[in-house]
Amino acid sequence: MPRYQFSISSPTERVRLAGAVTSETFSQALEAIADQAEAGEGDTLEIGVKGFPPARFQFTESAEDGTISWQPTGLLAA
């Protein structure tokens, strides 16, 4: 199973939580982090596997229904 390394930072702090999670899929890794880490709106999550650049997500609230989730951020246009 892949081992995903991650870090969470907030707009006012540098990295405040870092660790690793082992799971079968990327989405399961995100769920495990969301279940165990306390995150607030505007926090940034960087997650990846060794040898590849990390993916970046921002913790945001949906304007439509108020749900809070990790949304991809920093994507480059093709």
Residue 28 lies in a domain: yes
Q: For residues 5 and 15, give the distance between their C-alpha atoms in angstroms, rounded to a whole number.
A: 13
Per-residue confidence band for 23, with pLDDT thresholds at 50, 70 and 90 = very high
For residue 8, give the nearest of 62, 28, 19 by alpha carbon: 19
Cα 13 to Cα 8, 43, 44: the distances in Å are: 10, 9, 11
Domain total in the chain: 1
Does residue 49 surpass a pLDDT of 60?
Answer: yes
Per-residue confidence band for 77, with pLDDT thresholds at 50, 70 and 90 = low
Q: Give the structural domain span for 30.
A: 3-72
Does residue 26 surpass a pLDDT of 80?
Answer: yes
Residue 13 lies in a domain: yes
Does residue 10 surpass a pLDDT of 60?
Answer: yes
- Residue 48 has what pLDDT? 94
Residue 77 lies in a domain: no
Check if the beta carbon of residue 30 is closer than 8 Å to that of residue 39.
no
The mean per-residue pLDDT over the stretch 63-78 comes to 74
